[in-house]
Amino acid sequence: MIGMQVDVRAIIHEGAELTDKALESLIPTPAVVPASIHGAMRHSVFAGGKRLRPVLAYQAAVAVAGSIPAGISHLGAALEMLHTYSLIHDDLPALDNDDLRRGKPTCHVAFGEAIAILAGDALQTQAYEVLAGLACPPAATVEIIRLIAQATGTVDGMIGGQVLDIEGEHQKPTPELVQAIHRAKTGALIRVAVVTGGIFAGATADQVARLDTFGRKAGLAFQIVDDILDITQDSAQLGKTAGKDLTADKATWPAVFGLEQSIQDAARLIEEAFAALEPFGDKADGLKAVARFLVERKN
Amino acid sequence: MIGMQVDVRAIIHEGAELTDKALESLIPTPAVVPASIHGAMRHSVFAGGKRLRPVLAYQAAVAVAGSIPAGISHLGAALEMLHTYSLIHDDLPALDNDDLRRGKPTCHVAFGEAIAILAGDALQTQAYEVLAGLACPPAATVEIIRLIAQATGTVDGMIGGQVLDIEGEHQKPTPELVQAIHRAKTGALIRVAVVTGGIFAGATADQVARLDTFGRKAGLAFQIVDDILDITQDSAQLGKTAGKDLTADKATWPAVFGLEQSIQDAARLIEEAFAALEPFGDKADGLKAVARFLVERKN
């Protein structure tokens, strides 16, 4: 019914708007004391993110319930707060030492290192306060919180992936290391966005398992595409050949599996991800469309 | 029945042991990948903390239920993880820049700044994973998570207090500022430890309100005593008079209210805190004993 008529740009745009509205209502303005921390949180949260994790959560809920459930934008906002906290801390001088993100000064450049550290901390804290207020049955809320904490933790979660990345610097990357980093650092939060979107909408155990498979495979595909785009961009910008980039000791998919294989892996993973959604029928068209959009993007 | 026979040192010792056992089982060892982050988390969590927040939670539960409920040590462990995360981040070069805590190298000195930032992050994350697994009804778990996130957040919570402290440096402290910092920076987590201990044990709404009053007043009394001890120690160590310390621009209770008034305030607050526990009868003797021990300590 929806079938080929899915307008993926409209889906992403509407999902981003829904998320921004929730974030606007949930994060205090600098009029609330202490001003600096709220200013810093807003600086990074409203720095132009595409809200892809929230959009995936909403479309997973549509796959289960047929429409976007009321109140799910608070789940989306919490996922985005967690994503933003990890970016703020990643950008710090002691970690990646980045001055710019999406063309704007990073949090520590704009507000100083102390406030940036605390703003990251506070976004994590606020994510859990928001999750504890979700409009779904308490047992589902507890499960959502447990899964999100796991996905952002040290064992196969977001922080663990960052640590593996730091520990792996200046070493020749192995296939196992690249897979572990990708699964944990970016994959886990994408996967849990899809799964918790489904749980919020009342998914059965079988539906949760299928969304989990979809999220795991699609999340890895996105990351491989990211790695491929990095190379393409590097080649254009730096005038280096892609082949030369591949020899660098960077823990990327193309660096260990080659560019050709990477392209094939991303395509295969997306097909496997789609196969897991088969029983959802047309209701999963939005989720599929967003996933296809992400792996076919050019930047 | 328990009355005057309460052995406060035994209560604190047993509570600390219970907490340590839970922390030992809940935080992965460095044998779990990635090794460095788990080593760093354990370094700071097992650096000799007195586990006072957990002990207060357990004794609040005893005030409600008459004995320490099974499984409450996971609540205690989560409170201690949150306390430790705040200490790790507070000690960072960009914040207080402390090399030693309790005579041991701080986390960033032992493991580097990047891992210390992530270890603090991870302890916060793991606290919520542990809370989501608490052995109590889902609705109580959700309420516990909501209250703890609030107490550690930016608005009148732990992070907010740290920010007020940073913003207030190099300014003459006002009574309002000192009260706000004390309420938020240390008071909020102590208060919520008492309240959530009660909720875990099945407290009624009236009992929760009474524990909240107790926790708020006792938490402020502890902090005032801390401030008083700081002055006493400074006087002994630096050979300065207490009066001279009082003129320093430090946001402490004695600095704005004077030493004599501070001693009176702490005593008055503890009496008011005890009055709130009146309906609990003998069952609150442990909680009172721990509170009295904390305000009468000499270091």
Give the residue-averaged pLDDT of A133-160: 98
Average per-residue pLDDT for chain A = 92
Predicted TM-score (pTM) of the model is 0.95
B20 in Cβ contact with B74 (< 8 Å):
no
At A204, give phi and psi (nearest 5°): -75, 170
Burial B239-257 (b: 16+ CB within 10 A, else e): eeeeeebbeeebbbbbbbb
Residue A135 touches chain B, beta carbons under 8 Å? no
A109 interfaces chain B, CB cutoff of 8 Å: no
CB pairs under 8 A between A and B: 151
Please determine, for residue B116, whether its predicted confidence score (pLDDT) is greater than 80.
yes
Nearest by CB: A138 against B142, B154, B159: B142
- B114: domain CATH number is 1.10.600.10
A36 compared with B169, residue with greater pLDDT: A36
Q: State the pLDDT confidence band at B244, using cuts at 50, 70 and 90.
A: very low
Instruction: Give chain B's mean pLDDT.
Output: 92
Q: How many helices (H) and strands (E) does chain B have?
A: 15, 2
Contacts of A122 in chain B (CB under 8 A): 153-154, 159
How large is the C-alpha radius of gyration of chain A?
Answer: 19
The answer to whether the CB atoms of B115 and A159 lie below 8 A apart is: no
DSSP A169: T
Please, are residues B134 and B126 in contact by the beta-carbon 8 Å criterion? no
Q: How far is CA B267 from CA B70, B226, B252, in A?
A: 34, 13, 17
- What band does A234 get if pLDDT is binned at 50, 70 and 90? low
Rounded to two decimals, the ipTM of the complex is 0.94
Indicate the pLDDT class of residue A2, thresholds 50, 70 and 90: very low
Q: Which of A18-22, A234-238, A244-248, B205-209 has the lowest mean pLDDT?
A: A244-248
Separation between Cα atoms, residue B299 and residue B293, nearest integer Å: 11
Name the least confident of A54-68, A176-190, B24-38, B82-96: A176-190
Residue B115 has pLDDT above 70, yes or no: yes
Whether the Cβ atoms of residue B194 and residue B57 lie closer than 8 Å to each other: yes
- Give the torsion through C-alpha atoms of B119, B124, B127, B129, to 10 deg: -90
Of B131, B150, B154, which is closest to A28 when you measure between CB atoms? B154
Question: Which helix (H) or strand (E) element contains residue A101?
Answer: strand A100-101
Q: Which amino acid is at B233?
A: Q
Q: Which two tokens stand for residue B251?
A: 């946001």
H or E element in which residue A105 lies: strand A104-105
Give mean pLDDT, residues A206-221: 97
A179 touches chain B (CB under 8 A): no
C-beta atoms of B89 and A118 within 8 A: yes
Q: Do A125 and B94 touch (CB under 8 A)?
A: no
The residue written with tokens 């409009």 in the block is: A135
Using the Cβ of A28 and the Cβ atoms of chain B, whether some distance falls under 8 Å is answered with yes
- Cα nearest neighbour of B41 on chain A: A154
Place of tokens 């990948």: B33
B32 vs A contacts (CB less than 8 Å): 154-155
Q: Is A36 on the interface with B (CB under 8 A)?
A: yes
Q: How far apart are CA A14 and CA B58, in angstroms?
A: 47
Q: Do B163 and A132 lie within an 8 Å CB cutoff?
A: no
Q: Decide if A138 and B133 are in contact by the 8 Å CB cutoff.
A: no
Q: Does the beta carbon of B109 lie under 8 angstroms from any beta carbon of chain A?
A: no
Say which of B132, B146, B163 has its CB closest to residue A146. B132
Subunit contact B164:A33, Cβ cutoff 8 A: yes
Does residue B13 surpass a pLDDT of 60?
yes
**Mean pLDDT score, A228-237:** 72
State the total domains in chain A.
1
Q: Does B153 touch chain A (CB under 8 A)?
A: yes
**Interface touch B167/A138, C-beta < 8 Å:** no
CA gap A276, A272 in Å, rounded: 7
Token pair listed for B178: 């000192």
3-state secondary structure of B27: coil
Segments forming the whole domain that contains residue B223: 3-296
Say if the Cβ atoms of A121 and B159 lie within 8 Å.
Answer: yes
Q: For residue B184, which amino acid is it? A: A
B38 residue type, one letter: H
Q: Where are the alpha helices (DSSP H) in B133-187?
A: 138-151, 158-168, 175-182
A145: contact with B, CB 8 A cutoff: yes
A60 residue type, one letter = A
